[in-house]
Amino acid sequence: MTWSRRLVGTKRQSLIVGGPGALEQLPPGVARAGEAGARIFLLTERNVDDAWGKAVADLLSSAARLEDVLVVSPGEGSKSVTCLSECWEWLARAGARRDDVLVALGGGVIGDLGGFAASTYQRGMSLWQIPTTLLSQVDSSVGGKTGINLSAGKNQVGTFYQPNFVVTDPETLRTLPDEEYVGGLGEVVKYALLEGEEFLSLLESNTEEIRRRDAAVMGAIVHMCVEYKAGVVEEDEFDKAGRAVLNLGHTTAHALEKSLGYGRIGHGQAVGLGLLTALELSEKLLGLDSSVQTRTRDLLAALGLPVKLALPSADALLEAASRDKKVTASSTGFVCLAALGAPVWGINVTSSEFVSALEKIAE
């Protein structure tokens, strides 16, 4: 069963469609674009191209002109200034116009890279997102954030640019490597903690269906995540205030990724560990009931996510956390929970409190 959600931004709107078979929504969209004279430019990466490139290219060329395809290398290495420049040059050589469509087919790396390229090429061209990973379906393809990495950290340069069209089909999840699929579940658990008891209970009662990637169950879960994020983004599109709640678990996650070395731990796995750290801080600073952390730990383990890790040094983690984008002159920018479904952002956490909370996830 397919679903749709329109996210209304200040300058641009996104139509997000999802559910099993959602890819079949592409031809009508392509037809409308073709009638307006738009051509289609497809950006993807090698692994996704092998699994879904032909099927999606056939759908995209059904009613409009698929002008060209650029296939880049998989992995975070493609979220770079070098690869971004390659995208710009590719579009320019092909004579892409502002009214043409750049389609980003892949996970978060391709979504961020393609989004940044589309938002800046000729000061903005049409952008469609077709996320093929769980992480990108529930999170990065929605809300308009784009970015590339610098040596100083992830997503240090980027834009806010709402995609015109987002198609999230849970059928694409079946070709994901298990580690990557499971990693996406870290973000799903984050949304359950933000949403509240109904969502958390849904995950707890469907762990087997989730692990076997049941399309109907995952379609419903992705829908719940998208509804929550879209509502938050509409209230704070440019991440000046309340959108910060979406970073629950991410201060620790980003610190782990940077201090361990990018690629040594999956983002979703790091987020799961970051959630446990945030919940420990929530108990100490906001009086959160300890049962929330216990349930979350049990759920993460049931979904195949780590709950313990051999940590880098405390100094390395503190230095990495101090460079997080949420840090301001007045706050370390932590997100905590006052209760299940009641996030609080902009929490100031001391170095000793942070190190103490990290002990909960240390092997």
* CB-CB contact of 308 with 276 (8 Å): no
Identify the pLDDT of residue 22.
97
Identify the pLDDT of residue 151.
85
pLDDT per position as a tens digit, 152-205 = 777 889 999 999 999 999 999 999 999 999 999 999 999 999 999 999 999 999
Quick one: average pLDDT of 298-309? 98
pTM of model > 0.85: yes
Q: Look at 85-89, 114-118, 154-158 and tell me which has the smallest mean pLDDT.
A: 154-158
To 10 degrees, the CA torsion angle through 28, 30, 32, 37?
Answer: -160
DSSP-derived pairing of the beta strands 39-45 and 13-18: unpaired
Return the domain boundaries, the chain.
Answer: 3-175, 191-361
Q: Look at 107-111, 242-246, 328-332 and tell me which has the smallest mean pLDDT.
A: 328-332
pLDDT per position as a tens digit, 36-55 = 999 999 999 999 999 999 99
pLDDT band at 241 (very low <50, low <70, confident <90, very high): confident
CATH architecture of the domain with range 191-361:
Up-down Bundle (1.20)
Quick one: average pLDDT of 48-74? 94
Strands (E), the chain: 3-8, 13-18, 39-45, 65-72, 101-106, 126-131, 148-150, 153-157, 165-168, 334-339, 342-347
| 3-state class (DSSP) for residue 35 | helix
CATH architecture of the domain with range 3-175:
3-Layer(aba) Sandwich (3.40)
Identify the pLDDT of residue 329.
40
Identify the pLDDT of residue 333.
77
Identify the pLDDT of residue 155.
86
Q: Give residues with Cβ within 8 angstroms of 5, minimum separation 6.
A: 15, 16, 223, 226, 227, 230
Identify the pLDDT of residue 330.
44
Quick one: average pLDDT of 310-326? 84
Q: Give residues with Cβ within 8 angstroms of 135, minimum separation 6.
A: 107, 108, 180, 183, 184, 187, 267, 268
Separation in Å, CA 187 to CA 118, 182, 196, 301, 342: 26, 10, 14, 14, 17
